[in-house]
Each structure stands twice: as C-alpha cells, then as structure tokens.
Amino acid sequence: MKKLVLIAFFGICSLVGSAQVRFPQVDKSPMDMSYYPANYPILKIQDKVKEPLMARVVYSRPLKNGRRVFGELVEYGSIWRLGANEATEIELFRDAKIGNSRVKKGRYSLFAIPSQDKWTIILNKDTDVWGAFLYDAKKDVARTDVAVSRNTEPLEAFSMFFESNNGNIYLMIGWDQETVRLPISFF
C-alpha cells in the first residue's frame, strides 16, 4: 500500500511539475520607454507633476557587443527602425513641430536614414510594425535632418531620452560613437 501511495504521489508531482508555464527568455534587445517630462509616471504618483505629459518614446535597446555599429551593422544611407525588433514609436500628446514640420498629436513610428554627418529622422503613420521591412515612404508625416555629434565614450546600449535645454526640447538618440538631437516644440 505504501508503494502505491508513493507511486501516486510522485506521479502527481511530475504532472504538476510538467504543467508549469514556460515564459519566454529575456529579449537580447529589451524594450524601454522614455517620457517628456522625464520620469512622468513617477512624478505623477508622487504628486510632483509640474507640466503635462507631452511625449513618450517606446523602443528596443540593442547592444554594441564589440561590433562597429554605424556604417556596418546599421548601414549608412539605408532606412533603420531606430533600435531593434519592432519599429520605435513616439507618441505626442499635443500638436508639435519637429524640425520644420507640424505634426498632429498621435502615435507614429520613428525611422532614420543615417549617414556619417547627419541622420534623416522620419515620423511615419504606420505603427505596430516589425523593423523597417514594410516601411512605406508614402506614409511619412515628417522628415528632418539632424547633425551627428561624436561621443567621447561609446554607448554600449542604444539609448533615447528627452532633454530640456533653455526652453527647447530634444529627443536625444545615441549608440556607439554617435548621438543626434531631434528638436521638438509643442503648441
């Protein structure tokens, strides 16, 4: 009888153990998010919000991993999704001016065409897309060229954040040895 109980016990344990949910592994390029104003959700729960939410960017953060990024991994002159995995998205909570283009509030994909001295940053109305494989220039709502500056230290992870400087707002985009500043103003 004891053998039968033990066999039943181990049988049930093995069934329970094999029925566990298997979660996917952590992505090599994890998703991240940046807000303007910076840390908006934290400020909101702390009741320290001084200005309304204006913009949010959602992107994946690939790593350099010893590779030469621009000119090789990310080809100069080719459309790039600004990160990894799904195309990067920016959500504007007010109408804005990006470069010289007026853009209505809403959610847009962000792409870039990098070159050695400048990047063309593109806002496109097609969202929830993987990479730049189905990029359609007919759906662009804004394009602006921004100058490249060289970093003194290489950035291991692709990074984006909003910066406010003397009343101007910039989306800072950097990876490896390159950084660009996308000017944004809100109405």
Cβ burial, residue 59 (10 Å; 0-12/13-18/19+): buried
The answer, yes or no, to whether residue 3 has pLDDT greater than 90, is: no
pLDDT tens digit sequence for 114-135 = 999 999 999 999 998 988 888 9
pTM of the entire predicted model: 0.84
Handedness of CA 118, 179, 143, 137 (dihedral sign): positive
Domain ranges of the chain: 28-186
pLDDT tens digit sequence for 52-65 = 999 999 999 999 99
- Number of Cβ within a 10 Å radius of residue 45: 8
The answer, yes or no, to whether residue 5 has pLDDT greater than 80, is: no
pLDDT tens digit sequence for 15-28 = 555 567 898 888 88
Average pLDDT on 106-113 reads 97
Strands 55-60 and 140-165: unpaired
